Structure 1
């Protein structure tokens, strides 16, 4: 590392240290408990510098419609050193017409066009809906035959019916954006069939060009619940969102989980201070608003148990789907890592009434641990360490985290600590030995110098190993192109 780069890295660490001191004052002002002395971070620094595991990728459009513009953008980004293109492989597009009938014609063209430009492939097995989220300019629904196929199935004593695979929220609404994790064992064969069909179509043709296979684990391809999605009212940014644990399968799983933990209903009542007369009375919060405004989600045993189960269910869902994909791919695409994405849910973090509530409704944190402790990843320990459940496997599992371009905005209405959260995840991933890559959350973030400065700081300080930019067209001209080219020149293998 030359002296100028080293000085810049040290300056980045100093900036973060100052930011942490400021954050301490912010949290103190909201009444949030502080971490114990000696529990502070040791920023890992710019570990991507010259690292052979460094990757610089771009995201393709959700659906390519202008092929000439697509080819021109590919030539531009290839010219300044981008490695690979991340491409959503939409389940609803490929297998939407009929069960086990796959149409790969569009992806044949996309993959051929990308590789002809000298770029590698990072496909996403997109088991979620396109459309309805921020930045979506294309709609692809889950296969329509899916809901009917399993409507007559009984699973864990529950007749699924037409909505049995879907999340059900505290408002009583159902989401069709992805299949709920509590139905994994019902639909796992579908994920396996799709992955096998993908591997059979491209395993020989692009054995070396597929460098990572990302796996959709929820809405927007992210490991989360659809807590702020369009099926509910008044739950979007920057609200607390809505709990998604009210389907019959979810309730059944909660009841069984609680009984496994406590052994009997009498012990449940003793722990929770309740007088439940039947296991059927165990359930998610009957009044979700009071659950948050009264701080039961963190200050009562019932609340902590519920959130632990909710978070643990999400992580277990991630593990099940990832294991299925890894096993189905077998030895094909031998150079490919497996990736999963965790969103930066950065709002409501310093809210004066229910701090960190949106991270709870999305399922990302526990509240039974110290949310202010670096040792627990500020509640993200299980989400980050999901990658370590695959230690010793044939493939490395890497975590992708979003929001690298954002600033903290701790005041009303967002109550956001986006930049701080990027550091929390980086710190814990480094402690846990998890490979960590980053993304920008919003396309506009890579069209400004301020957004790139935040990305640079994340890499200089918090151990991020790779970047995938949303989207390719935003770094094919102007500020985005200039800054990404400079970034790659700094962190690439020749650095």
Structure 2
């Protein structure tokens, strides 16, 4: 199919209230209400859709003003062989905790709009706390199967993210039976030096301990993945082409080192080491004794700053004479990072063995801890578990682990640039991305991308485009995420222009007729405006 260049008359349609009325809205604000309203369509019921319909994106792509007779976008290429394969994330709460599909009609309309736009597929977050909510081994897949059927029906591909963590926004908990165990055994959770527990995922130190009513977390994850593979076998390799294995907080391979940052702070602090649950301390103690330094196994660095503090607030991360360069620090940081890499290896090995015969590619996500990157110690990376400093490459071992398991790596933050970060944070997202990608190239690991801000980072779309089409191009990208902001008139026209630019990167504005130049200018202005919007979906 063809998607034509948006003409000048269509560019103006986004600016008029009349256009919204023609698309079924009495007020432009109704677009956001569709995704923010508490509408659930439960299966087995004929619940009527009672709120404003999300149709403006679908009709905008289908409408006749989009069909320019002068210029049309090149015939859609097969993205599996050429060009960027673009996916869009579905809402985090697309399936509710009662296994119903939230905003089912809106999701269906959105899927059709994405298909018409030329997006290859969507990403579906599948939550442990929803599927195995009530009891160990009791799985309920109905809501997620319904979404897979919707995606298959419209002709899109599906990438599934298996989420073994919880979420605060939206509120999604760990399985109830896991939380009950945690109430009596808080040592299954990560713990900081003040004794505060992080209860949104299990500590990696219990991976192989029978803390879940006689089973280990690895066994629980294994059975969950086997049940998923069996339940979704009709979709595997055809509709479902990729699976991301959850590796920690927010699905990323890291420690929850920044979970108590103050919301009012514009400059993130260095975070804290998460090695104080009884099982982590036990492993640290054994390791210290085995290396002949028993006093090094009593805990993490005593002179490290607190969550919200900057590197120079205490001695450990200081550029001049900081103890991060001491023999003790090398001992601790090596152990801390190796524990994280071993955890990633266990989970990716598990996923690779289970899904190896399904024709679905296995992925894992690595964080982009870019704050304080331009210091010598890189404190945000160190507390998150990456022993990467100005004098040491901390990503080689991570890339080697991904290569060993034949997995691909997802890197977030491809919408971020240093020029839009606070100067005081000494941040450089681009340089850190380049470092990680260099390690991946060395070990033959394919890198895929993701944006970090669902509400639009400043200059985000242009920065994504640089990463996708630059010297070290990325051929697969998940754009996060569908919702009220995504389909809003402040954002969706910009996203449409962005998708078109990926299809025709060689087509410059000077190559367009005057009518199309006017449309491109209008869409560019919309893109800049939408990129600076910070309203949450």
Tell me the TM-score normalized by structure 1. Answer: 0.74
| Equivalences for residues 32-431 of structure 1 within 5 A | 51-52=81-82, 54-64=84-94, 65-131=102-168, 136=169, 138-149=170-181, 162-186=185-209, 187-230=217-260, 238-260=268-290, 262=291, 265=292, 268=293, 278=294, 282-289=298-305, 290=314, 292-294=316-318, 296=322, 298-329=324-355, 331=357, 334-351=358-375, 355-367=377-389, 370-371=391-392, 376=393, 379-390=394-405, 396-409=406-419, 412-431=423-442
Alpha-carbon distance in structure 1 between the residues aligned to 2:433 and 2:296: 40
Larger Rg: 2
Using the TM superposition, give the Cα deviation of residue 481 of structure 1 relative to its aligned residue in structure 2, in angstroms: 2.2
Give the unaligned 5+ runs of structure 1: 1-47, 152-160, 269-277, 391-395
Using the TM superposition, give the Cα deviation of residue 444 of structure 1 relative to its aligned residue in structure 2, in angstroms: 3.0
Alpha-carbon distance in structure 2 between the residues aligned to 1:381 and 1:232: 32
Specify whether residues 452 and 56 from structure 1 end up closer, same or farther in structure 2 by C-alpha distance, changes over 3 A only.
same
The answer on whether the counterparts of 1:437 and 1:466 sit within 8 Å (CA) in structure 2 is yes
Alpha-carbon distance in structure 2 between the residues aligned to 1:240 and 1:488: 40
1:211 alignment partner, SS class: strand
Specify whether residues 139 and 162 from structure 1 end up closer, same or farther in structure 2 by C-alpha distance, changes over 3 A only.
same
Between 1 and 2, higher relative CO (CA 8 Å, sep ≥ 6) is seen in 1
Alpha-carbon distance in structure 2 between the residues aligned to 1:49 and 1:57: 11
1:444 alignment partner, SS class: coil
The answer on whether the counterparts of 1:407 and 1:417 sit within 8 Å (CA) in structure 2 is yes
Alpha-carbon distance in structure 2 between the residues aligned to 1:488 and 1:73: 20
1:176 alignment partner, SS class: strand
Matched residue, 1:444: 455
Q: How many residue pairs align between the two structures? A: 398
Alpha-carbon distance in structure 2 between the residues aligned to 1:228 and 1:189: 28
Matched, 1:478 2:485: no
Specify whether residues 141 and 232 from structure 1 end up closer, same or farther in structure 2 by C-alpha distance, changes over 3 A only.
farther
Alpha-carbon distance in structure 1 between the residues aligned to 2:503 and 2:223: 37
1:164 alignment partner, SS class: helix
Deviations 1:165-191 (A, max 9, x none): 100112321011111111111311110
Q: Which of structure 1's runs of 4+ aligned residues deviate more than 6 A? A: 231-236
Tell me the TM-score normalized by structure 2. Answer: 0.68
2:273 alignment partner, SS class: coil
Using the TM superposition, give the Cα deviation of residue 418 of structure 1 relative to its aligned residue in structure 2, in angstroms: 1.2
Alpha-carbon distance in structure 2 between the residues aligned to 1:330 and 1:68: 34
Using the TM superposition, give the Cα deviation of residue 426 of structure 1 relative to its aligned residue in structure 2, in angstroms: 2.3
Specify whether residues 432 and 340 from structure 1 end up closer, same or farther in structure 2 by C-alpha distance, changes over 3 A only.
same
Using the TM superposition, give the Cα deviation of residue 96 of structure 1 relative to its aligned residue in structure 2, in angstroms: 0.9
Using the TM superposition, give the Cα deviation of residue 342 of structure 1 relative to its aligned residue in structure 2, in angstroms: 1.1
Using the TM superposition, give the Cα deviation of residue 401 of structure 1 relative to its aligned residue in structure 2, in angstroms: 0.3
Matched residue, 2:445: 434
Deviations 1:449-471 (A, max 9, x none): x2222112223122423111011
Alpha-carbon distance in structure 1 between the residues aligned to 2:263 and 2:422: 24
Alpha-carbon distance in structure 2 between the residues aligned to 1:365 and 1:436: 20
Alpha-carbon distance in structure 1 between the residues aligned to 2:266 and 2:194: 14
Matched, 1:456 2:461: no
1:175 alignment partner, SS class: strand
Deviations 1:358-392 (A, max 9, x none): 1111112345x824xxxx3xx322223321122xx
2:208 alignment partner, SS class: helix
2:477 pairs with 467, 475, 483, which one? 467
Alpha-carbon distance in structure 1 between the residues aligned to 2:265 and 2:383: 10
Alpha-carbon distance in structure 2 between the residues aligned to 1:217 and 1:236: 27
The answer on whether the counterparts of 1:173 and 1:231 sit within 8 Å (CA) in structure 2 is no
Alpha-carbon distance in structure 1 between the residues aligned to 2:262 and 2:276: 13
The answer on whether the counterparts of 2:355 and 2:362 sit within 8 Å (CA) in structure 1 is no
Alpha-carbon distance in structure 2 between the residues aligned to 1:256 and 1:53: 51
Using the TM superposition, give the Cα deviation of residue 485 of structure 1 relative to its aligned residue in structure 2, in angstroms: 3.1
